[in-house]
């Protein structure tokens, strides 16, 4: 949302464009760190109250930004809001998958992340429209109000049993889950997949205007096309991952690498650019539901792993944007980040191939699954569940089973 407001914020707070840019990059860095730190700090707490608290933090951060008398308070507001981001999606994905049978887990995660994809379609134009009409502070007031509605909805509508338990073990035990090779392979593939896509995305406005010849006013609707692709890819990726998770991830990463390569070659063509930016969104976000469920299954369902996946994606975003900037600075042109992105995703595809081979070949780390059973008197139980219930691996494993209402 704030991307469309930076010129107004810069003028309103009397800071340079570069300083205003830190309101975006500072947010992303805080997400990467906060996802791990906040999830670790709340590991033993019931997850529904934690989610309510995280949204309250989001509301407080945006309220600070709306009231900010100067740049320092504005940046503080962005940092406060960002602290909740990674943990909310990490913990929220675990609560979401508890609400459905295990064979629909990736679709549940995809449905939750639909909010994020729709925000990419509506956030920038909505923020720009409100900011243009009533000033940039009005946009933050609107987001504060939306956050308050979300907070109330979670408090009232999310069943207590779905978020009754926090981490299934203390922090030391949760950290022990990161001994799994599969966890690290999945996190690495996530970082590389995101890094390739967003490394190219960061410079798309220049690719559209300097290479394809679109006008600056065309960029907004082209980004809507990209955002629509995100929505489609997210839904398709969730369905595909419930059928065959690793297969869906491999196809999505391969499709993303091919799309970026072809986009780089045809960047000067306007019709091709429209089609390819849509496919960039589709293949780029089709990996999200499967990566989330894969890493949490590999880690035995600990919340820290889901949040670490969000951190990995933000680290990938930063590295990808940095690599794209390097080739532009080196004089290779504004289509070059697309080829760099393709190379990064290609490495991610290789890592994902190794991870998938490890599962098929009997690799460790995917034998723990999150299943569902009828609620017992104590609210928890253990049993034998499909070790890859959401991944289509077809193996059986014994694991801790989350309880849910029958």
**pLDDT tens string 256-278:** 999 999 999 999 999 999 999 99
User: Which of 223 and 294 is assigned the larger pLDDT?
Assistant: 294
The neighbour count for residue 223, using CB atoms within 10 Å, is 22
pLDDT given for residue 40 in this prediction: 79
Burial class (CB in 10 A: 0-12, 13-18, 19+), 261: middle
CA angle in degrees (0–180, nearest 5) for 102-297-352? 115
Mean pLDDT of 193-217: 87
Residue 184, helix vs strand vs coil: helix
pLDDT above 90 (res 112): no
What is the pLDDT of the chain when averaged over all its residues?
81
Q: What percentage of the chain exceeds 70 in pLDDT?
A: 84
pLDDT tens digits for 35-91? 888 887 887 788 888 899 999 999 999 999 999 999 989 999 999 998 888 788 888
Collapsing DSSP states into helix, strand and coil, what is residue 402? strand
Phi, psi values for residue 103, rounded to 5°: -75, -5
User: 372-374 and 381-386 as β-strands: parallel, antiparallel, unpaired?
Assistant: unpaired
> Which pLDDT band holds residue 169 (cuts at 50, 70, 90)?
low
Paired residues of 401 in beta bridges: 381
The CATH code for residues 2-360 is: 1.20.1250.20
Confidence of residue 34 (pLDDT cuts 50, 70, 90): confident
Question: Could you tell me which residues come within 8 angstroms of residue 138 by beta carbon, excluding any fewer than 6 positions away?
Answer: 130, 131
Segments making up each domain of the chain, as ranges: 2-360, 372-404
Only one residue has tokens 């009754």, namely: 164
Pick the residue with more confidence: 21 or 286? Answer: 286
319 contacts 188 by C-beta, under 8 angstroms: no
Of 3-12, 75-84, 246-255, 326-335, least confident by mean pLDDT is 3-12
């Amino acid at each position: 949302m704030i991307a469309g407001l930076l010129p107004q914020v810069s003028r309103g707070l009397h800071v340079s464009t570069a300083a205003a840019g830190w309101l975006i990059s500072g947010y992303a860095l805080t997400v990467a760190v906060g996802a791990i730190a906040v999830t670790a700090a709340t590991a033993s707490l019931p997850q529904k109250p934690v989610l309510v608290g995280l949204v309250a933090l989001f509301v407080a951060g945006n309220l600070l930004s709306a009231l900010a008398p100067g740049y320092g308070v504005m940046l503080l507001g962005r940092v406060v809001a960002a602290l909740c981001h990674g943990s909310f999606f990490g913990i929220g994905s675990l609560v979401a998958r508890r609400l459905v049978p295990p064979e629909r887990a990736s679709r549940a995660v995809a449905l939750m992340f639909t909010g994020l994809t729709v925000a990419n379609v509506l956030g920038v134009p909505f923020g720009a429209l409100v900011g243009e009409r009533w000033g940039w502070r009005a946009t933050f007031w609107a987001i504060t109000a939306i956050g308050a509605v979300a907070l109330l909805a979670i408090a009232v509508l999310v069943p207590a049993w779905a978020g009754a338990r926090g981490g299934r073990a203390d922090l030391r035990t949760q950290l022990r889950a990161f001994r799994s090779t599969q966890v690290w392979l999945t996190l690495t593939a996530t970082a590389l997949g995101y890094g390739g896509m967003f490394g190219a995305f960061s410079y798309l406005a220049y690719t559209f205007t300097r290479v394809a010849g679109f006008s600056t006013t065309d960029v907004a609707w082209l980004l809507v096309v990209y955002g629509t692709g995100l929505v489609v890819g997210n839904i398709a990726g969730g369905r595909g991952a419930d059928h065959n998770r690793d297969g869906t991830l491999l196809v999505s990463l391969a499709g993303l690498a091919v799309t970026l390569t072809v986009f780089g070659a045809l960047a000067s063509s306007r019709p091709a650019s429209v089609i390819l930016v849509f496919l960039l969104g589709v293949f780029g976000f089709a990996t999200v539901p499967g990566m989330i469920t894969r890493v949490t299954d590999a880690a035995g369902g600990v919340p820290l792993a889901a949040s670490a996946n969000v951190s990995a994606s933000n680290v990938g975003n930063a590295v990808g944007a940095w690599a794209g900037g390097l080739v532009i600075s080196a004089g290779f042109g504004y289509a070059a980040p697309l080829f760099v992105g393709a190379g990064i995703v290609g490495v991610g595809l290789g890592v994902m191939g190794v991870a998938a081979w490890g599962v098929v070949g009997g690799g460790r780390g995917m034998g723990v699954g999150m299943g569902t059973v009828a609620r017992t008197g104590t609210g928890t139980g253990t049993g034998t569940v499909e070790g890859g219930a959401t991944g289509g691996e077809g193996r059986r494993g014994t694991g801790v089973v989350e309880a849910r209402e029958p």
